[in-house]
Amino acid sequence: MRTNLLHRRILTILALLMVIVPRSALSDPSVMHTSSLAESSIREPMSELDPGNDGGCLSLGALDIAFRTDNYGSPNVGIILTDPRGRRIGFDPLVKRAWQALPMAQGYIDCDDLEGRGTCRGVVQICGPVSGTYKVEVVAQKTTAYSLNISARSKEVLRDDGLQFSYSQSDLSNIAIRARSRDILLLNYSRNFREKVTARLLPTLHTRLVTSIK
C-alpha cells in the first residue's frame, strides 16, 4: 500500500512547479527553462540508464531532499537541484526562474506540522536517480537559518536471499544564510547498496552569520 502511494506521488512530475513555484511564474512561459549542459564539477557514470515510465523506477533507487526554515508557512529559501547530467529541478525565488528537466521527479510543500508551530517544509523527490555528484543551490529570500534532510535508497540487487537495498541519510541543521544570498552543496549519491549518501557545504564568498537566526 505504501509503495503504491509513493509511486503515485513520484509520478506527479510537475508537482514541484505547481506547488513550490508561484502561479504568476507559471503563467509566464519566459521563466520556464530546462538544461542539458553538465557543469564541470559534476560527474556521473554515463552507462547508467534513466528510469522509464513503467512504474518501476523505485527499483533503481530514490533520493529525497527535505528543507525547512523556522518561520510560519512556507520555507524562506528555495532550492535548485542539478543532477550529474546537468538537468535541473527547482525554483529560484530571487530571479523567478523555474526548471523541470528530470525524467521522474516531483516536489511539494508539506505543511503537516506535528509540533503545531505552523511551519512547512519543502520536499524534492527523485525516483531512480543516476549515480554521481548533485549540486544543490539554496537561495534565501530573507535572512534565516535552514535545515536539510537528505535520504537515499540504493538500487535493488537480486541475491541468494532475495532483493536487497540500503538506506542512508545526511543532515545539515541550522545553517545561517543572509537574505538574497546563495549556498552551494555537493551531494554524492550512488545506486550501489554499499555506498552512503554524503553532502558537503561549499565555502561562500559572503560573510556567514555565526549565530542561529531565530
pLDDT digits over 154-196, tens only? 999 988 888 899 999 999 999 999 999 999 999 999 999 999 9
Q: Is residue 118 part of a domain?
A: yes
Euclidean distance between CA atoms 142 and 163, whole angstroms = 46
> Cell 555528484 identifies what position?
133
51 lies in a domain?
no
All three cell numbers of 97, joined, read 526562474
Q: Strand 62-69's sheet: what is its strand order?
A: 105-110, 121-127, 62-69, 144-153, 167-177
177 in any annotated domain: yes
Residue 206, in any domain of the structure: no
Q: In whole angstroms, what separates CA 19 from the centre of its chain? A: 14
pLDDT at res. 5: 38
CB 154 within 8 A of CB 191: yes
Choice between 93 and 118, residue whose per-residue pLDDT is larger:
93
In a domain, 67, yes or no: yes
3-state secondary structure of 9: helix
Is residue 42 domain-resident?
no
With respect to residue 209, please indicate whether it lies within any of the assigned structural domains: no
Structural contact between residues 91 and 16, judged by C-beta atoms closer than 8 angstroms: yes
Q: Is 60 exposed, middle or buried (0-12, 13-18, 19+ CB in 10 A)?
A: buried
pLDDT surpasses 80 at 11 = no
Asked whether residue 181 is assigned to any structural domain, the reply reads yes
Record the pTM.
Answer: 0.75
Q: How many domains does the chain have?
A: 1
User: Domain range spanning residue 10?
Assistant: 2-35+61-201
Report the alpha-carbon distance of residue 44 to residue 83 in Å, rounded. 9
State the Cα–Cα distance between residues 120 and 123, nearest whole angstrom: 10
Q: Under a CB-based contact definition with an 8 Å cutoff, are residues 136 and 199 in contact?
A: yes
Q: What is the DSSP letter of 58?
A: G
